Structures are given as C-alpha cells and as structure tokens.
C-alpha cells in the first residue's frame, strides 16, 4: 500500500504505534534518498526562486547594517523612553527560535526519544542560523561598535574590566557558549554522514571538501564507539544550556527595575516561550522542505504531529505565564507594575497585546484536534501564527514596558522606521539563505542515526522499535 494509506490506517489505531520511517526503506535506500538531495545535479526550481529572494534580502541586511553603523543608532526608531526597540525584540525573537534544535538533539536524545532522529539535523542547523541572526543584533545595536570588544574581559592598559554585575555581560557569555556548543554538536553529528558523502563523491573537489570535514572518518568500530560516547557527553553538556541561555536572556529584563520586566517568573516563562517558537519554526521550515526534497518517508506525519504536541504544551505554558504575570501585578499591589499591565492590555499598545494573546494562547489550542495537528496546511498556518505571536510577545514586553515607566512626564510612544523593518526582513532573509544552502550541500537528515531506527536495524524484532 502507499505511504499515505499506511499513515491513515496506522493513525486510526492509537494502540498500534506507527513506524518512524515509512515506505519500504532499507539501509541503502535511506542513504540514497538523503544523499540524493545533495548529489542531484540541479536542485528544484523552487530552490532557485527561494534563494534569490532570501539572498537579496540578505544583501539588504548588509546595506542596512552599513547605513546603521555609519550614521548612528538614530536611524532606528529607538527614542527616549524606549531606548530599546526592534533591535532587542528581534534579538530575543531569534534566540528563542534557536532553542528547538539543541532541545531536540540533546534533551530528546537523553530521553531516548527515537523520533528525533529524522529532524534533529535540520533543527540543529536552524538553531545555528537563528543564533547568527540573533547574535548580530546586540553587536550592531550598541552606539559605538568599534569599542564593543570592551564587553570581553581582555587585559588592557586602562586596567579596566567589564562590570560583572551587568546581566548584559552574562548574556554575552551565555549566548556565545550556546552558539559554540550547538555548532560543535551539529558538526560532530555530521561527521559520519560527511564521510558517506565523501565516499560517494563523484568529483575530486567534492571528495576533498567533504573528506576534509569528515576528519578522516573510516567508520571503524573504534570510531563509532568514541563517536557515540562523545555524542552522549555533548548532549549532556548541551542540555543545561538549553535552559540557561534563555534564562540569562530573561535576566536582562528580570534583573532591571522597569515594571513589567522586573518579574521572577521570567526564566521559565522565557524558556517555555523559546521552545514554543523554536518548534513552530521547525514545523514552518520542515513541512515545505520535506515536500521539496522528497523526504516524506523519513520525516513523517508522526514527527510533525509530535512537534505540534510540544507546541500545544508549551503554548499553554506561555498562556499560564501571561495569566500569572497579571495576577502577580494585581496581587503584588505595586501601583507602577499594576499600571504597566493594565496599560499593556488597554493602553496605546493594546493592539499588540491582543495579537500576542490570540497567536500564542488561542491559536495553539486548535492542536487539541488530531485532524488539525495532522493536516499539513493547517499546521503550517498555526506555526506561522505562533511565530508572529512570539515576536509580538517580545515587542509587548520590551516596548510597552519602556514607553510608560515611572514618571508620566517622560512617557512616550515608539514608532519603528523603515530601517527597523528592512533590518528585520534582512535577518529573515539571512536565516533562510543559510537554511537553503544547508539543504543543498549537507545531509538534511542524520543518515547514520535514522538507520538505527529502521526495522532492519532490529531484524530480530517484528517492526518493533521504541
């Protein structure tokens, strides 16, 4: 029977869990299928169209950054009292996206969630690209980027050190650590597959390039044994980071005394939100990708559904967090904080607030219905809405809190400029450009890992894995 049909039957019988990999896949066909994407002489036309668009957006980003640095932060809408605007909103937004990858690869790995195998590679890649976009903002948003290196504890003739009390400094370390570890983790996973590509390479150039990065992998038992151990260790190392990064990011706000920022629930609230947005982004990207590169059998509906379940769960957590904030604002009885929250929901920025509530709290609830969370179109719509909602969450937290702080005399209203908009669009372009290049030149699915969940890998058991 055809793949779709199988899916149907299987899904209808909850007690009978479907296969992770569908179709008549065997060890060889998996390799062929994944490597095929990279080795085919020409990618589909859609790829060319996509990369043209995203590529030009990336160029625009470059232009914007040059303009910004040569002219001053004033080209953005930031003002007084909103000294931070879209710059930090987008930073937090992208860092959030960056969470799914490591979570899937590390935590789910430790939890022995085998279904991760088909999506972790792409998710990790996404993480890295999101971190690139995120990392750019704190760098360029400072007034004098040419002395930004003072953020790092470099010995100098001034005998000056950074101020270790500042959450911003913690941020520098947290994000850079996270970026490093995720990169390592991703690359290490790639090594065996790169070796495969090397061995199948048809041209000398490919052979040398893939070969160089395969670090001389020969697939000997010793290699595998060390690989597994290292992978486990890295996973263990990466797991706390998943939680720490966004906790630290949330400190930027929680540690300050701006009412609406100064909130103890920020760390868990931010982490949940991050995972929420991260998974949404994975879904947004994977659905078209698997269509485009014919990986339906490897990345099955079940994978997507599982991710949608996570989205549903984390979405509800975020909703809870919103409710808690409001409750505490009322219960705490701090007039300034109380005002901040009333102002969020009914003040000049109410529109942003209600968009956020709708996208982050209401929309994910549709995933209670199996029909919706297993329908490709609908899940993409929901995922995209969630991404929008999560952007607005950061906007609401940062801008509405700053716009009206303690002294009414200094209240204001933040309006973005065209540069703000183009810069953000540019980062989206950068993100997709990198992802498209990744799809084209690297194995999108962890071949070696997927093989471990094939029936063939457990010949003695009847279709029994997990």
Partner 1 sequence: MNVFPRWMNALRVLAGASVLAAGVYVVALFAYGGSPKTINAGFSPEQPVPFSHALHAGELGLDCRYCHTTVEIAARAAIPPTETCMNCHLRIRTQSELLKPVFDSWASGEPVHWKRVHDLPDYVYFDHSAHVTRGVGCVTCHGRIDTMERVRQEQPLSMGWCLDCHRNPAPNLRPPEFATAMDWQPERPAAEVGAEIMQQRHLKPSTDCSTCHR
Partner 2 sequence: MSSLIREPSDVSRRRFLQVMGASMALASASGCHWETEEILPFQRRPEGRVPGTTRRFATSIECSGVAASLLVTSYDGRPIKIEGNPLHPLDRGAASARSQAAILDLYDPDHSRGLVQAFEGASYPRSWKEFDPWFAGHMAQVRARKGAGLRILSEPSSSLALASLRTRLAELHPQARWVEWEPCARTNEIAGSKLAFGRALRVQPRIEQVNTLVCLDADLFGLHPAALANARAFAARRRPEEAQPLRLWVVESSLSLTGAAADQRLALRDEQILPFLLALEARLAGGKAADGLFLESLADELLAQRGAALIAVGPRQPAAVHALAHRINANLGNTGKTLLYSEESDPAGVMELGELAREMEAGAVETLVVLGGNPVYDAPCELEFRRALRHVPLALHLSHYRDETSRACTWHLPRAHALESWGDCASWDGTRCLQQPLIDPIFPRRTPLELLGAICEAKLGAPELVRACVAPGASDEQWKKILHDGFVEGSAARPVEAALASFSVPAPAPRALAKELRNGELELVFAPDRNLYDGRSANNSWLQETPDAITKMTWGNAAIFAAETAAALGVEDSTLVKLKLGTRELEVAATVLPGQAPGSITLHLGHGRSAAGLVGGLEQENIETVGFDAYRLRSSDALDRALSLEVMPTGKSRQLARTTDPAVTDSIGRKQMEGLVEELARVRTLADFRKEPGSERESEHESLWNKPVAEGVRWGMAIDLNSCIGCNACALACQAENNVPVVGREQVIRGREMSWIRIDRYFTGPERSPRVRFQPLTCQHCESAPCEEVCPVAATMHSAEGLNDMVYNRCIGTRYCANNCPFKVRRFNYFNYHKAIEAEGAEVQRMLYNPEVTIRHRGVMEKCTFCVQRIQAAKIHAKNEGRAPADGEIVTACQQTCPTQAIVFGDLADPKSRVARLHAESRGYAMLAELNIGPRTTYLEKLVNPHPALEEHDG
Does residue 461 belong to the site contacting partner 1 (CB under 8 A)?
no
Q: Which two tokens stand for residue 145?
A: 């980027």
Contact stretch for partner 2 (CB under 8 A) within 183-191, 216-224, 242-250, 404-412: 404-412
CB of 138 to partner 2, least distance (A): 8
- By CB under 8 A, the count of residues binding partner 2 is 54
When the beta carbons of 199 and 291 are compared against partner 1, the nearer one is 199
Which member of 408, 460, 461, 464 binds partner 2 (CB under 8 A)?
408
Does residue 352 belong to the site contacting partner 2 (CB under 8 A)?
no
Does residue 165 belong to the site contacting partner 2 (CB under 8 A)?
yes
- List of residues 6+ apart from 53 with CB closer than 8 A: 429, 432
Does residue 354 belong to the site contacting partner 2 (CB under 8 A)?
no
Cα distances (Å, whole numbers) of residue 187 to 4, 184, 231, 282, 442: 33, 5, 11, 19, 11
Q: Which does 146 bind (CB under 5 to 8 A by kind): partner 2, partner 1, none?
A: partner 2
Which member of 105, 118, 306, 405 binds partner 2 (CB under 8 A)?
405
Q: Which does 199 bind (CB under 5 to 8 A by kind): partner 2, partner 1, none?
A: partner 1
Contact stretch for partner 2 (CB under 8 A) within 138-146, 308-316, 374-382, 452-460: 138-146
Of 217, 194, 189, 191, nearest in space to 206 by CA:
194
When the beta carbons of 235 and 345 are compared against partner 2, the nearer one is 345
Q: Which does 45 bind (CB under 5 to 8 A by kind): partner 2, partner 1, none?
A: none
Which member of 9, 208, 342, 362 binds partner 1 (CB under 8 A)?
208
Cα distances (Å, whole numbers) of residue 348 to 79, 322, 335, 360, 400: 17, 19, 19, 20, 9
Q: In angstroms, rounded to a whole number, what is the distance separating the alpha carbons of residues 345 and 361?
A: 15
Contact stretch for partner 2 (CB under 8 A) within 195-203, 224-232, 408-416, 429-437: 408-416
Q: Which residues of 1-32 are buried (b: 16+ CB within 10 A; e: fewer)?
A: eeeeebbeebeeeeeeebbbbbeebeeebbbe
Contact stretch for partner 1 (CB under 8 A) within 82-90, 206-214, 254-262, 422-430: 206-214
Do the beta carbons of residue 411 and residue 59 sit within 8 Å?
no
Which member of 52, 56, 71, 264 binds partner 2 (CB under 8 A)?
71
Does residue 207 belong to the site contacting partner 1 (CB under 8 A)?
yes
Does residue 255 belong to the site contacting partner 2 (CB under 8 A)?
yes
When the beta carbons of 268 and 416 are compared against partner 2, the nearer one is 416
Q: In angstroms, rounded to a whole number, what is the distance separating the alpha carbons of residues 121 and 413?
A: 42
When the beta carbons of 216 and 412 are compared against partner 2, the nearer one is 412
Which member of 54, 78, 117, 306 binds partner 2 (CB under 8 A)?
78
Q: In angstroms, rounded to a whole number, what is the distance separating the alpha carbons of residues 195 and 125?
A: 18
CB of 163 to partner 1, least distance (A): 12
- List of residues 6+ apart from 403 with CB closer than 8 A: 81, 82, 348, 349, 411, 412, 413, 414
When the beta carbons of 199 and 305 are compared against partner 1, the nearer one is 199
Contact stretch for partner 1 (CB under 8 A) within 179-187, 209-217, 345-353, 433-441: 209-217
Do the beta carbons of residue 239 and residue 107 sit within 8 Å?
yes
Query: What phi and psi, each to the nearest 5 degrees, are found at residue 81?
Result: -85, -10
> Interaction with partner 2 in 116-135: which residues (CB under 8 A)?
none
**No. of helices (H) and no. of strands (E), the chain:** 19, 0
For residue 408, count CB atoms less than 10 angstroms from its CB and return exposed for 0-12, middle for 13-18, buried for 19 or more. Answer: exposed
Which member of 17, 49, 52, 72 binds partner 2 (CB under 8 A)?
72
CB of 198 to partner 1, least distance (A): 7
> Interaction with partner 1 in 211-240: which residues (CB under 8 A)?
211-212, 214, 216-218
Do the beta carbons of residue 352 and residue 400 sit within 8 Å?
yes
Does residue 5 belong to the site contacting partner 2 (CB under 8 A)?
no
> 111-117, long-range: CB within 8 Å, 24+ apart, which pairs?
114/20, 114/452, 114/453, 114/465, 114/466, 115/20, 115/302, 115/303, 115/306, 117/20, 117/445, 117/446, 117/449, 117/450, 117/452, 117/453
Residues in contact with partner 2 by CB under 8 A are 71-74, 77-81, 83-84, 141-148, 150-151, 160-163, 165-169, 172, 252, 255-258, 335, 339, 342-343, 346-348, 402, 404-413
Footprint of partner 1 on this chain (CB under 8 A)? 155-160, 198-199, 207-208, 211-212, 214, 216-218
């Amino acid at each position: 029977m055809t793949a779709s049909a199988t899916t149907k039957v299987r899904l209808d019988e909850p007690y009978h869990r479907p296969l992770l990999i569908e179709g008549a896949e065997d060890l060889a066909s998996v390799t062929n299928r994944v490597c095929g994407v990279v080795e085919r002489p020409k990618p589909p036309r859609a790829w060319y169209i996509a990369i043209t668009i995203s590529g030009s957006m990336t160029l625009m980003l470059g232009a914007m950054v040059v303009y910004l640095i040569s002219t001053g932060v004033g080209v953005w809408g930031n003002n007084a009292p909103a000294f931070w605007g879209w710059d930090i909103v987008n930073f937090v937004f992208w860092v959030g996206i960056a969470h799914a990858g490591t979570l899937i690869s590390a935590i789910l790995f430790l939890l022995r969630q085998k279904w991760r195998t088909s999506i972790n590679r792409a998710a990790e890649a996404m993480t890295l690209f999101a971190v690139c976009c995120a990392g750019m903002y704190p760098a360029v948003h400072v007034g004098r980027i040419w002395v930004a290196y003072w953020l790092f504890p470099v010995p100098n003739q001034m005998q000056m050190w950074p101020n270790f009390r500042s959450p911003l400094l913690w941020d520098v370390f947290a994000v850079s650590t996270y970026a490093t570890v995720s990169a390592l983790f991703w690359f290490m996973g790639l090594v065996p597959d790169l070796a495969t590509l090397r061995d199948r390479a048809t041209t000398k150039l490919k052979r040398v390039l893939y070969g160089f990065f395969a670090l001389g992998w020969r697939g000997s038992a010793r290699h595998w044994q060390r690989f597994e151990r290292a992978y486990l260790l890295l996973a263990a190392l990466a797991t706390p980071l998943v939680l720490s990064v966004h906790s630290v990011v949330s400190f930027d706000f929680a540690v300050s005394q701006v009412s609406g920022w100064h909130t103890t629930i920020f760390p868990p609230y931010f982490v949940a939100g991050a995972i929420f947005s991260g998974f949404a982004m994975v879904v947004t990207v994977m659905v078209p990708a698997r269509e485009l590169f014919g990986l339906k059998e490897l990345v099955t509906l079940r994978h997507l559904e599982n991710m949608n379940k996570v989205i549903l769960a984390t979405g509800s957590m975020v909703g809870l967090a919103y409710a808690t904030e409001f409750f505490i604002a009322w219960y705490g009885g701090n007039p300034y904080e109380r005002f901040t929250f009333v102002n969020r929901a009914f003040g000049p920025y109410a529109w942003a607030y209600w968009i956020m509530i709708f996208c982050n709290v209401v929309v994910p609830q549709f995933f209670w219905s199996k029909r919706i969370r297993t329908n490709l179109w609908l899940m993409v719509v929901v995922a995209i809405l969630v991404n929008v909602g999560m952007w607005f969450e950061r906007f609401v937290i940062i801008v509405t809190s700053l716009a009206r702080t303690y002294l009414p005399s200094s209240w204001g209203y933040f309006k973005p400029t065209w540069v703000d908009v183009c810069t953000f669009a540019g980062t989206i372009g950068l993100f997709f450009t990198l992802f498209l290049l990744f799809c084209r030149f690297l194995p999108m699915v962890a071949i070696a890992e997927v093989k471990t969940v094939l029936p063939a890998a457990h010949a003695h058991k009847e279709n029994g894995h997990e």
